[in-house]
Amino acid sequence: MNSVTLDDVLTDANLLAAWSKVRGNAGSAGVDGETIEAFEENLMANLDTLRKEVRFETYRPRPLLRVMVEKQEGSGRLRALSIPAVRDRILQTAVAQVLTPVFEAEFEEISFAYRKGRSVDQAIARVERLRDQGYRWVVDADIRAYFDNIDHARLMREVKRLVKDPAILKLIHQWITSKVRDGKQLYRLKKGVPQGSPISPLLSNLYLDHLDDELLDENLRLVRFADDFVILCKSRKKAEDALELTTEVLAALKLEINERKTRIIDFNHGFRFLGVQFIRSLAFKTKYRGMVYDFPSRDESRDLPQDTATDEPEPTEMALAFARALTERQHQETDEEESKTAPQPSRVRPDTSVYGDTEPSTQTPPPKAPTAVERRPVSSHDPRLRTLYLLRHGCVLGKRSGRLVVYLDDRVIQEIPAIKVDQVMVFGNASITTPAMQFCLGENIPIVLLSGSGRYHGVIDSFDTDPVLLHRDQFSRATDPQFCLLVAREIIRGKLANSRLLLMRHARKRDLPELGASATRIKRHIDRLDSVTSLDELRGHEGSAAKIYFGALGKLLAPRWDFSGRNKRPPTDPVNAMLSYGYTLLFHNVYALLRARGLNPHVGCLHPMRAGHPALASDMTEEFRALIVDTVVLNLLLNRGGLSASDFTLPDAPGAPCLLNAAARRKFIRAMENKFNAAITHPGTGYKIDYRRCIETQIQLYAAVVRGREESYRAMVLR
């Protein structure tokens, strides 16, 4: 993935630079009592010994020395530091120096701590800019004991995505699992990163980069300084949603929001961030030293950018008195307002759909013991499934260092960190270079090849043999007709029920009783599913209900769309062109999530197994067709700002397809991505998650059924 190796760490130049940095910090001795001055007396020999220990794999870090220091001089508040021995500090610094450029390429612009050239002042300036742009509501967040709760396994997975040299990985693992000498006690770290170690700031930023990505993907305005961050929004509702998403993302990272220190506030009521008191358009700066940096030791704070460690002039006593009085009064008003408007515990927030006609529930669902499937979906694979779409004619996807680069006419038009791509979709005459293809295969990133109109050609994908036992169970289940019938019946039940729900919503919204009549006819097919005895009979009900469903959709659309029912291969009208395009995108999102969960996409229950056809991917798309694709198509055709007839190229000869033009394809993909990321309450788990996580939850359930850990598959049916 990159060229960083142990040889880069152990060069004379890098070790001497690391030594110079450690000596400049003038820190104290570690647990072995060796001082910087003692190490320097025989510097070159000591560095050479350190190098040989690492090369011959005899290196073992000394235990960390636990000490307590004041957070701020005279404050009386203490924090624990774990100080490495001088030799370990030098080696950690040498590794950090080599890895910093690699990690920095992945970090986001909104992260300001422990990064050269970034400062508190820059973070504060971003908050002020956003405030002036109308982002007046603030999620003032705090993570409970962040540095002590970083999960080692998750952290090492993130490091391994950037660093491939096993020797460097071994060193990092040794350091984060070091023993700690605390007085007479000696114990080993089981989680967290040691505050006071030179490598820890880099690792702590990497761990929270996932949080940065998730919040930025939702177009949220984030400002983060280590574990201290604020999210700025234009409404309280947006801030509440942002806090809910943050809580979910942190849970996936095995972290918790500190509820006592986290709140939603606005600039009128005031808040404090990075030693600055914000009230309305005022910002009173206080001293930074010792108040902001809860991570590096006093010695290591010298390595931070100079403008982050300087004392700022204090505001006048009159200004501070005004700020205190205003803040206290308005905090009291906020508490009173929130107590009046707080929702009752017995009410459940209703699911929200694109139509907004779902009725709220007034009863709390009965508690139930969570199963492995019912827990909030957590995966090392990002369920949001970042997709790189190559749409422009003649563009080329290449690879440079750790980034995927898109070229057009030998000009770079976009660079994407390679670790932030989960699948690549190549449309039409776009192409991909061999190095980029090899990288994607090595990182298990499928490359989907499609025509310019979205017709599937094939997929370039590595075949991971790790989940061989799951594959064995899949093949065994596929030979059991009764198992296949039960799963397929539930899948079709979900498909028909969700299709019926879509018709019923539009029947109420647009006062079209004929849609209600069609929904009733589909319900009759649903009621007959329990009596089917074969897959052919089941497919018969599916086909009859689909004909009713698409006929009803035609009644929703204006005559200019010329939609009389479903046709494909090729689609001959704009509606069918959009449906085919959307089903293709949905199919390959499902395919990638199946691969991420270790399932064989080609072995299903409903669709017959045949060469070159991912039957299970086709199975798992069925219950989501109406919820995702059909909903997006109707939105774009029925609502203002959607698509018009000019966005399509109509067939110019019998058998020719109807095609979306380039601008329409981009608009359609954006609408699909927005839908994939829309949050709903999953009916089976009760968790509010996005549609991609819903798909992944269903995949997890299917895998559990295949393994025999769950009794039956249950389709996701919205109410």
Residue pLDDT, tens place only, 5-14: 999 999 999 9
570-581 as b/e: b if 16+ CB within 10 A = bbbbbbbbbbbb
Local confidence band at 367 (pLDDT 50, 70, 90 cut-offs)? very low
| Confidence bin at 230 (pLDDT 50/70/90) | very high
pLDDT of residue 295: 35
- Asked if residue 563 lies in contact with residue 555, where contact means CB atoms within 8 angstroms, the answer is no
Question: How far is 347 from 344, CA to CA, in rounded Å?
Answer: 6
Chain center to CA of 430: 27
Rounded Cα distance between 70 and 253, Å, is: 29
Residue 50 has pLDDT above 60, yes or no: yes
Name which residue leads in pLDDT, 75 or 194: 194
pLDDT for residue 337: 38
Tell me which of 39-48, 164-173, 316-325 is least confident.
316-325
Nearest to 264 by CA among 294, 224, 234, 226: 234
Render pLDDT for 495-552 as a digit per residue (tens, 0 to 9).
999 989 988 888 887 777 888 888 899 889 989 998 889 998 889 998 898 888 888 8
For residue 570, cis peptide bond before it (omega within 30 degrees of 0): yes
pLDDT of 109 > 60? The answer is: yes
Whether the CB-CB separation of 1 and 418 falls below 8 Å is answered with yes
State CA 589 to chain mean position distance: 15
Both tokens of residue 278? 């914000």
| Reported confidence tier of residue 379, pLDDT bands at 50, 70, 90 | very low
pLDDT digits (tens, 9 = 90+) for 314-337: 444 444 444 444 444 444 433 443
The tokens describing 191, both together, are: 């989680």
Residue with tokens 């393994």: 707
Instruction: Please state which of the ranges 62-76, 280-294, 302-316, 663-677 shows the lowest mean pLDDT.
Output: 302-316
Q: How confident is the model at residue 59 (pLDDT cuts 50, 70, 90)?
A: very high
Two tokens, residue 592: 């990638």
Residue 413's SS3 state is strand
Q: Which residues contact 473 (CB under 8 A, 6 or more apart)?
A: 706, 707, 708
Burial call 309-346: b when 16+ CB within 10 Å, e when fewer: beeeeebeeeeeeebeebbeebeeebeeeeeeeeeeee
Residue 268, number of CB atoms within 10 A of its CB: 13
Read off the pLDDT of each residue in 332-353 and give the average, rounded to a whole number.
33
Q: Tell me the pTM.
A: 0.46
pLDDT, averaged across the chain: 79
Distance CA 10, CA 21 (A): 15
Asked if 27 and 122 touch (Cβ cutoff 8 Å), the reply is no
The Cα–Cα gap between 141 and 259 comes to 8
The segment with the largest mean pLDDT, out of 16-30, 292-306, 681-695, is 16-30
340 pLDDT higher than 80: no
Neighbours of 183 (CB within 10 A): 6
- Convert the pLDDT of each residue in 470-490 to its tens digit: 888 889 998 999 999 999 999
Is the predicted pLDDT of residue 592 greater than 90, yes or no?
Answer: no
Closest by Cα among 581, 591, 584, 579 to 620: 591
> Residue 451: its pLDDT value, please?
67
Q: What confidence tier does 309 reach under pLDDT thresholds 50, 70, 90?
A: very low
